[in-house]
Amino acid sequence: MADNSAHVAGIGNAIVDVLVHADDLLLHKLGLTKGVMTLIDAAQAEAIYAQLPPGIECSGGSAANTIVGVAALGGRAAYMGKVKDDQLGQVFRHDIRNAGVTFDTKPATDGTSTARCFVLVTPDAQRTMLTYLGSCVEFGPADVDAAVVAKAAVTYLEGYLYDPPLAKEAFLLAAATAHDAGKQVSLSLSDPFCVDRHRAAFLDLVSGHVDILFANEAELCSLYRTESFDDAIRQVRGHCRIAAVTRGELGSVVIADEDIHVIGADAVEAVIDTTGAGDLYAAGFLYGLTHDRDLPTCAMLGGLAAGEIISHFGARPERPLKDLARAKLGSHIIETV
Amino acid sequence: MADNSAHVAGIGNAIVDVLVHADDLLLHKLGLTKGVMTLIDAAQAEAIYAQLPPGIECSGGSAANTIVGVAALGGRAAYMGKVKDDQLGQVFRHDIRNAGVTFDTKPATDGTSTARCFVLVTPDAQRTMLTYLGSCVEFGPADVDAAVVAKAAVTYLEGYLYDPPLAKEAFLLAAATAHDAGKQVSLSLSDPFCVDRHRAAFLDLVSGHVDILFANEAELCSLYRTESFDDAIRQVRGHCRIAAVTRGELGSVVIADEDIHVIGADAVEAVIDTTGAGDLYAAGFLYGLTHDRDLPTCAMLGGLAAGEIISHFGARPERPLKDLARAKLGSHIIETV
């Protein structure tokens, strides 16, 4: 019988991205801080959309991007998140399922629409995000498929889940279910402002409830309220089994028990849009980890997936990650399924 | 008082594109002929979507792409076409309005959804299209804004309008309104199969009712049922005031009374997706024509806009066409508004 347990089960806010090109003037006009995610309500979403240039719509959502990346590398992947049964919800469901991901969360049939994130990409390739959570606020513990979580090698949870209140409960249930089954729990800190909103909870999660932590430099520094990266590294050491911290063009640092691995990033020919870089780093890393690769290899897989995503507009892979990984790191790196 | 008459008023099927990467195997599996547009119904749309890989959504529609191109070059542009008041309809409306186009057609409030076109882009950069007309079938003569048409220098009509029955009536009304006001009518032949479906009507239009004809080589040959391009050119001569015929990497040929202008195409670094090439050629050409540029310059503007669109995924411009035109053809080429 085929093994249908997921290598990685992801839970997150199911979101459709609206990607637009923007300049600094527009960010200023909208009062936005570059590089971060701001939550907006329905009325704000309408008012802001009216001021945005034409865009393209593309399935997104932080954990969903990660899970699609795991599937693109050939891993078995499952996702839980709440869309509405509207047109954008259908787009989200189509895209994630046809990327090879198991996605069976029941869509909301009434209430607000599928979540949207306006992603403003500036010429410096930075992205600034405005998220209308929509039907994500309906996601709760009843939507956690315990059978899937209990069988998954890693359950991956995005920090953004702490924004909608019911999702936080779902988060805690999923983490407990995974640990009860002897499986691992992974958390992404998501965004420095998100860390700000939920610092106490995240500190508690990181010390004892999370096996694999993903963060970028700004998020980790925000978590420990320090401006020193070395200080942040020192503080996270020993709190969770593995912490993988990304540093943009500097690559990443992996802290695991006594070891610290520093892995450089490959030069990317042209950085077009950094949306999804952290999500895809986690995808490559988790593919490696759930296929028993050593930590530096996990980090290299992460860097490779992140490098693909920042070379084009949007946070879902455009080129076959499997082939890229084989070409770059050797054909043994990806399992033949 | 500012002149608010449009340089170009476009009427067409208002469509949201679903762009996916595809290979020849998928085209074969779906029984599709590469490079053409096939009409599908709602059930087929659902069945086919289920077989497509993840995609991105982007406002499209042949005439709408052209009109957005005219606006991007700085022309005053108006559009008429029927979306539904659903999420994709809102996306369409947002994108065309925020591209600077006047768009006031009332959306349909019941009936089928906003039209979708699945655009399958193969590695050879060819696009193969499947169109579900949705609410476009609701577009009729009552949706033609006679005041806008009567004031527009050129009314641009896509041949695809002959597919939904009421739209054909709207087409004829708009053409008559434009001519009664002493303005010009332009037709795009749209697609060789579309020409096949409506050859008699298109032949009648071209001989006497159309001032400016746009076609590619295959469409013009289909119109006159000939395999010889020279024969097709010979036949179209004298039928309409101007015929602009595109030939892909060979550039274009403009036939105007006694003159034939042959204009080469610039090399495009990497052709990614030919979707919208003809639409944007028409945009550049019509911008030039409505700003009293000579015909070779109109053709060069067309080639420039087409060159931009084929250098990326999707049929709406990504780079500022005004700046490209000024850089390439001289700053005098684009009016300072």
Does the CB of A57 have a partner CB in chain B at under 8 Å? yes
Of all residues in chain A, the one with the smallest CA distance to B47 is: A94
User: Any idea how long chain B is?
Assistant: 337
Does the CB of A68 have a partner CB in chain B at under 8 Å? yes
* Domain ranges within chain A, ordered by starting residue: 11-333
- Encoded tokens for A116: 């949207």
8 A C-beta contact, residue B196 and residue B222: yes
* CB-CB neighbors (< 8 A) of A316 in chain B: 54
* CB-CB neighbors (< 8 A) of A65 in chain B: none
CA dist., res. A244 & res. B218, Å (int): 55
pLDDT by residue (tens digit) across A134-153?
A: 999 999 999 999 999 999 99
Mean pLDDT along residues B196-214: 94
CB atoms within 10 A of CB B17: 27
Mutation for testing the B interface, residue in A20, A98, A120 having most B CBs under 10 Å: A98
- Residue owning tokens 């289920």: B50
Of all residues in chain B, the one with the smallest CA distance to A115 is: B87
Give CA separation, A128 vs A118, A172, B130, in Å. 8, 28, 34
Of all residues in chain A, the one with the smallest CA distance to B318 is: A21
8 A C-beta contact, residue B57 and residue B88: yes
Of B53, B86, B88, the CB nearest to A98: B53
pLDDT at A238: 80
Of A55, A56, A95, the CB nearest to B54: A95
* CB-CB neighbors (< 8 A) of B53 in chain A: 98-99
8 A C-beta contact, residue A2 and residue A148: no
- Encoded tokens for B196: 């096949």
Q: H-type helices in chain A, by residue range?
A: 24-29, 42-49, 62-72, 87-97, 146-151, 165-180, 192-197, 199-206, 217-223, 229-236, 277-289, 295-309, 321-329
Q: Would you call B55 and A95 a contact, using CB atoms and an 8 Å cutoff? A: yes
Give the CATH number of domain B8-12+61-110+139-333; options: 3.40.1190.20, 3.40.50.620, 3.30.70.20, 3.40.50.300: 3.40.1190.20
Amino acid (1-letter code) at residue B186: S
pLDDT at A139: 97
* CB-CB neighbors (< 8 A) of A87 in chain B: 86-88, 113-114
Mean pLDDT along residues B163-182: 95
8 A C-beta contact, residue A164 and residue A136: yes
Name the packing angle between helices A62-72 and A321-329 (round to 10°): 60
Q: Is the pLDDT of residue B1 over 80?
A: no
Lowest mean pLDDT among A69-78, A81-90, B254-263: B254-263
Name the packing angle between helices A62-72 and A277-289 (round to 10°): 50
Give CA separation, A48 vs A1, A18, B165, in Å. 51, 12, 38
Does the CB of A94 have a partner CB in chain B at under 8 Å? yes
- Encoded tokens for A257: 């028990």
pLDDT band at A2 (very low <50, low <70, confident <90, very high): low
Pairing mode, strands B252-256 and A102-103: unpaired
CA dist., res. B56 & res. B272, Å (int): 15
Mean pLDDT along residues A8-18: 98
pLDDT band at B151 (very low <50, low <70, confident <90, very high): very high
Q: Is the pLDDT of residue A267 over 90?
A: no
Residues 13-42 (A) with a CB less than 8 A from some CB of B:
21
8 A C-beta contact, residue A325 and residue A304: yes
pLDDT at B269: 85
A–B interface: beta-carbon pairs under 8 A? 56
pLDDT by residue (tens digit) across B218-228?
A: 999 999 999 99
Mean pLDDT along residues A61-65: 98
Alpha-carbon dihedral angle through residues B279, B337, B299, B249, given to the nearest 10 degrees: -60
* CB-CB neighbors (< 8 A) of A317 in chain B: none
pLDDT by residue (tens digit) across B87-139?
A: 999 999 999 999 999 999 999 999 999 999 999 999 999 999 999 999 999 99
- Encoded tokens for A178: 């995974």
Q: Is the pLDDT of residue B55 over 70?
A: yes
Does the CB of B55 have a partner CB in chain A at under 8 Å? yes
Q: Would you call A56 and B57 a contact, using CB atoms and an 8 Å cutoff? A: yes
- Encoded tokens for B26: 């998928």
Amino acid (1-letter code) at residue B3: D
pLDDT at B266: 84
Q: Would you call B49 and A88 a contact, using CB atoms and an 8 Å cutoff? A: no
Q: Would you call B318 and A98 a contact, using CB atoms and an 8 Å cutoff? A: no
Mean model confidence pLDDT for chain A: 95
Give CA separation, A233 vs A221, A264, A321, B8, B295, in Å. 9, 17, 30, 60, 66
* CB-CB neighbors (< 8 A) of A54 in chain B: 59, 68, 94-96, 98-99, 316
Tell me the shortest Cα–Cα distance from B56 to chain A, in angstroms. Answer: 5
Mutation for testing the B interface, residue in A15, A17, A26, A56 having most B CBs under 10 Å: A56
Mean pLDDT along residues B177-185: 98
Element housing A134 (H / E): none
CB atoms within 10 A of CB B197: 14
Q: Is the pLDDT of residue A1 over 60?
A: no
Of A52, A58, A87, the CB nearest to B56: A58
8 A C-beta contact, residue A279 and residue A65: yes
Q: Would you call A53 and B91 a contact, using CB atoms and an 8 Å cutoff? A: no
Residues 72-91 (A) with a CB less than 8 A from some CB of B:
86-88, 91
CA dist., res. B73 & res. A184, Å (int): 55
Does the CB of B95 have a partner CB in chain A at under 8 Å? yes
Amino acid (1-letter code) at residue B225: R
Q: Is the pLDDT of residue A58 over 80?
A: yes
Q: What secondary structure does DSSP assign to B295-326, as a single string? A: HHHHHHHHHHHHHHHTTSSSSS--S-HHHHHH
- Give A266's DSSP letter: P
CA dist., res. A188 & res. A126, Å (int): 19
Give CA separation, B231 vs B220, B221, B225, B243, B255, in Å. 10, 8, 10, 14, 13
Q: Would you call B94 and A57 a contact, using CB atoms and an 8 Å cutoff? A: no
pLDDT at A3: 77
Q: Would you call A98 and B52 a contact, using CB atoms and an 8 Å cutoff? A: yes
Mutation for testing the A interface, residue in B98, B114, B321 having most A CBs under 10 Å: B98
pLDDT band at B336 (very low <50, low <70, confident <90, very high): confident
Mutation for testing the B interface, residue in A46, A95, A311, A321 having most B CBs under 10 Å: A95
pLDDT by residue (tens digit) across B242-294?
A: 999 999 999 999 999 889 999 998 888 889 999 999 999 999 999 999 999 99
Q: What secondary structure does DSSP assign to A279-318, as a single string? A: HHHHHHHHHHHTTT--HHHHHHHHHHHHHHHTTSSSSS--
Q: Would you call A68 and B52 a contact, using CB atoms and an 8 Å cutoff? A: no
Fold of A11-333: UDP-N-acetylmuramoyl-L-alanine:D-glutamate ligase (3.40.1190)
Angle at B218 between CA B212 and CA B222, to 5 degrees: 85
Beta strands in B49-126 (DSSP E): 56-59, 77-80, 102-103, 115-121
Residue B234's Cβ-side half-sphere holds a number of Cα atoms within 13 Å equal to: 7
Dihedral sign, Cα of residue A220, residue A225, residue A226, residue A227: positive
Of B55, B56, B98, the CB nearest to A53: B98
Smallest Cα–Cα separation from B315: which of B46, B61, B37, B51? B61
Smallest Cα–Cα separation from B105: which of B118, B88, B92, B117? B92
Mutation for testing the A interface, residue in B58, B67, B86, B87 having most A CBs under 10 Å: B87
Amino acid (1-letter code) at residue A65: N
Tell me the shortest Cα–Cα distance from A47 to chain B, in angstroms. Answer: 12
User: Any idea how long chain A is?
Assistant: 337
Q: Would you call B96 and A54 a contact, using CB atoms and an 8 Å cutoff? A: yes
Q: Is the pLDDT of residue B2 over 80?
A: no
Mean model confidence pLDDT for chain B: 95
